[in-house]
Amino acid sequence: MSPKPGATKPAARNTAARAKAQAPRPAVTKEEKVSATTTTAGDAHAGSVPKDVSLKLFRFMKLTRETEDRIERKLYRQGKIVGGCYVGRGQEGITIGCVAALQEKDVIFPSHRDMGAFIMRGMPLVTIFAQYLGRADTPTRGKDGNAHLGDVSLGLINYVSHLADNVPIAAGAALAFKHRGEPRISINFLGEGSTSRGDFYEGLNFAAIHKLPVVYIVNNNQWAYATPVERQMPVKNVADRAPAFNIPGVIVDGNDVEAVYLAAMEAFERARSGGGPTLIECKTFRMTGHSAHDDAGYVPKEQFEIWAKKDPIIRMERRLRERGWIDDKYVGDMDGEIKKSVEEAAEIALGMPLPDGSETLNGVFTTPYRVKDVFPWRQTEEYKSIVIKKEKA
């Protein structure tokens, strides 16, 4: 069929399309570039955070610390917890500050140092202790330990040990919210070591392209197991990686819970209003080894001494006292209530039954495990003949 007068021939259209695709894109202008910004810590933000919120932040940091101390310093040392035992001592302000800034229907992708997320979202302390103790009546039915748990009804999404794997998944949740037109966001906590993995870049790239309502919070505690941050990346700050995705990168003092809260509020509002993702880097320090079995002998002792003076709970208590919002009685009453609730929850969990061995494979496969169901090819005559020949040989 002859083309209509004035119509472009297919070959010409294809050539034009290729030329357009290969044409150099306009350079990003100075105004369009996004660079990392710094949220300065200190008491300059006094009054920016309401009194009731500040007191809430203080209480949940103390509750988180007491819960993890009971888990690691008592139950684990007593041999009642087996396997890995990870805590976020000295880093509580990051999780608490961010979760406090969320709305009820937002979702959280936590990591192994985010106990505060589970507590703030309403997961019972008994459930948390029972999980660490491997009891039967837990979200994982005793098949997994430590913080490998979640509860979708509370907006807590489970995670696995490969911490950057939730970066694209958090983007996927945000994509669903955007498609549905829901004013919800997702947030993902991860360590600085995770930002050197491929799934981190893939997830951020996807989130940035589609301007998804997701915020990534990097807990930069200076050590990825035994590797110091300067041997992990060639940039000074994790947030320096944000401009590559043309998204804001924010650096905040992770040991200042109010500074974290304010930085999170700004990023969350940006995401919720269609402004896309933000990468928040919280500077902090890991005041323990990688896990309870690690003595952190590779970390210079003076670093612990320096960062102990920056403890987020001590700093917050001092600040609240200076404002006249708390006194000795207030702190004493709070500490007593927290210790009582933690002790009672731990004792209840210790009295709960362990899983029965017959339940080992329940929930692992969609049907009860049988070799012929999972590996049907093993039932073929050909397979059996090969096995018999090998056995005779």
Residues designated catalytic: 286, 290, 298
The pairing of strands 227-228 and 223-224 is: antiparallel
Paired residues of 189 in beta bridges: 217
Q: Which amino acid is at 303?
A: Q
Q: What is the largest CA-CA distance in the chain?
A: 93
Cβ neighbours around 109 below 10 Å, total: 27
Nearest to 67 by CA among 290, 360, 341: 341
Residue tagged 């549905």 (tokens): 180
294: Cβ contacts below 8 Å, ≥ 6 apart: 225, 288
Three-state SS string over 271-330 comes to: HHCCCCCEEEEEECCCCCCCCCCCCCCCCCHHHHHHHHCCCHHHHHHHHHHHCCCCCHHH
Q: Which two tokens stand for residue 6?
A: 């004035």
CA-to-CA distance for 35 and 244, rounded, in angstroms?
A: 9
**How far apart are alpha carbons 391 and 393 in whole angstroms?**
5
Question: Where do runs of H (alpha helix) occur along the chain?
Answer: 10-22, 51-69, 92-99, 115-120, 125-132, 166-180, 198-209, 257-272, 301-308, 312-322, 328-350, 371-374, 381-392
Q: What are phi and psi of 199, to 5 degrees?
A: -70, -25
DSSP state of 221: -
Rounded Cα gap, residues 211 and 230, in angstroms:
31
Count the helices and strands in the chain (H runs, E runs). 13, 8
